[in-house]
Amino acid sequence: MKTRTTEWAERMLRKISEIASAAINRFSVPRNTISTASAQGHCAFKTAYEAKHGSPEFDFASLTRFRVGHAFEFDIATRLIAGGFVPVEPDEILTHPGPCFCGGGDLLDVCGVTANIRKSLKANGVLLPTEQLTLDIPADDIGANYDIVVKAPNGSFMVWECKTTEDTLTIPRDEWVSQVKTQLGLLRHFAPEGSVIRGAVYCRMGNSIEQDFEIAPPNEKEWADLKARAQHIAQAKRGEVEGAKEPSHFCGFCHAATCQYSPAGRAANSFPLPKDVQQAVENFITTKDIADSYAKEAERHKKKLLDYAGDERMTAKAGKYLVMASPIPGRVTISTKKLATMVSPSILEACSSKGNGYMKVEVKPLPDEPPASNA
Ligand code: SF4
């Protein structure tokens, strides 16, 4: 149950989220008319649906996650300042000699820190992370926001897309790769000719593991594919075509009720799962089979130990292990059915508590297909 303090904190996060969403609308054309780098790896139908109907109302956990993401960008920006990189405004990064960077400062928007305030503080030696760089090519229906763009003294650029996740990853997610490749393609279009441009997803996994995944700029074919994809998404957003339905783990968060893969559609239908979820089912079965066979093996070894201990308490040494066996008395259980016939409902209710519910998942083999009839 939420306390008054957490309720208040959630309300404030919603307020902050509205201010933060202004920061992602700095394109030269309305955001809803082009595809953004972050949309490139998402389902086109969902992106267009949200452009038309608005994004779903995010829950408290999602809002908190977004805020942690902004705080992470801010953290990286302050490390750059500590490393001697000068924070510059987005319109300065392409021409500044470096070492410099822009971005990481969206956390400050809510405090009313504007470019003018940053500039006057900078004149007094106070360096603060700045707004994100935003680039777009409306003719190609494509645009991008950049968490952090770093420029080295030799004029080379590094794009860092900051991500926070609870998973421990060994390779970057596909949608991150298309996002960064789109950012790199756009930056190459605007940067001085011949500039070296590199990119990476800088990822914090869990609370303390950090890992960067380098992403190469798109080659000619990849860039053409990214622009074609942007065009499809933009056309879908503008309502000129229907966006392709591209099932993925995002379906779980989708509110496009008109799609069979949406939560509403999933509740009503039996249909093939997206490829990555199908793979997760196969991995689940394989690992569960292995875990079950190991669990049986462990039980067999434990039984030998129990047979030896008998019914007596025992403390012994086995190599580098201490072994303790002790009798545990049987648990007393109360039959609520029987009790209900003996006490009043109000007493029963006062003595009862309900645990949290949970989602049950079952995976069963499908029956074999009947043999094809020749009749
Ligand atoms: S449910 Fe999945 S496939 Fe359908 S629109 Fe949403 S994200 Fe796309």
Give the pLDDT band (50/70/90) at residue 375: very low
DSSP letter (8 states) at residue 29: S
Helix (H, G, I), strand (E, B) or coil at 84: coil
Give the pLDDT band (50/70/90) at residue 57: confident
Both 178 and 164 in one domain: the answer is yes
Report the mean per-residue pLDDT for the chain.
Answer: 90
Q: Is 246 in the pocket of ligand 1 (CB under 6 A)?
A: yes
Both 238 and 257 in one domain: the answer is no
**Which residue's C-alpha comes closest to atom 5 of ligand 1?**
46
Both 67 and 94 in one domain: the answer is yes
47 CA distance to ligand 1 centroid (A)? 9
Both 272 and 162 in one domain: the answer is no
Both 128 and 38 in one domain: the answer is yes
Is the per-residue pLDDT at 345 higher than 50? yes
Among residues 276, 294, 312, which one ends one of the domains?
A: 294
Quote the CA–CA distance of 212 and 161 in Å, as a whole number: 9
Both 101 and 193 in one domain: the answer is yes
Give the pLDDT band (50/70/90) at residue 369: low
Residue 374's pLDDT is what? 56
Task: Say if 336 falls within a structural domain.
Answer: no
Task: Say if 182 falls within a structural domain.
Answer: yes
Is the per-residue pLDDT at 23 higher than 70? no
Task: Say if 111 falls within a structural domain.
Answer: yes
**Which residue's C-alpha comes closest to atom 2 of ligand 1?**
251
- Give the pair of three-digit tokens for residue 99: 């070492």
Both 163 and 241 in one domain: the answer is yes
CATH number at residue 113: 3.90.320
Task: Say if 320 falls within a structural domain.
Answer: no
Helix axes 4-22, 60-82, angle to 10 degrees: 60
- Give the pair of three-digit tokens for residue 73: 């960008």
Task: Say if 218 falls within a structural domain.
Answer: yes
Is the per-residue pLDDT at 127 higher than 50? yes
Q: State pLDDT tens for residues 136-173.
A: 999 999 999 999 999 999 999 999 999 999 888 999 99
Q: Is 251 in the pocket of ligand 1 (CB under 6 A)?
A: yes
Side chain identity at residue 256, one-letter code: A
CA 104 to chain centre: 18
Task: Say if 353 falls within a structural domain.
Answer: no
Mean pLDDT (whole number) for 19-34:
82
Both 137 and 269 in one domain: the answer is no
Quote the CA–CA distance of 206 and 167 in Å, as a whole number: 7
Q: State pLDDT tens for residues 235-285.
A: 999 999 999 999 887 887 888 888 888 877 777 767 777 787 888 889 999
162 CA distance to ligand 1 centroid (A)? 25
How many residues comprise the chain? 375
Q: With contact defined as beta carbons under 8 Å apart, do 66 and 16 qualify?
A: no
Q: Which residues 6+ apart lie within 8 Å of 270 measured at CB?
A: none
Q: Which residues 6+ apart lie within 8 Å of 281 measured at CB?
A: 273, 363
Q: For the chain, how many structural domains are there in total?
A: 2
Both 192 and 262 in one domain: the answer is no
Mean pLDDT (whole number) for 340-355:
84
53 CA distance to ligand 1 centroid (A)? 14
Q: Is 181 in the pocket of ligand 1 (CB under 6 A)?
A: no
Task: Say if 359 falls within a structural domain.
Answer: no
Task: Say if 174 falls within a structural domain.
Answer: yes
Question: Residue 287: which domain range?
Answer: 251-294
Q: Is 222 in the pocket of ligand 1 (CB under 6 A)?
A: no
Both 241 and 164 in one domain: the answer is yes
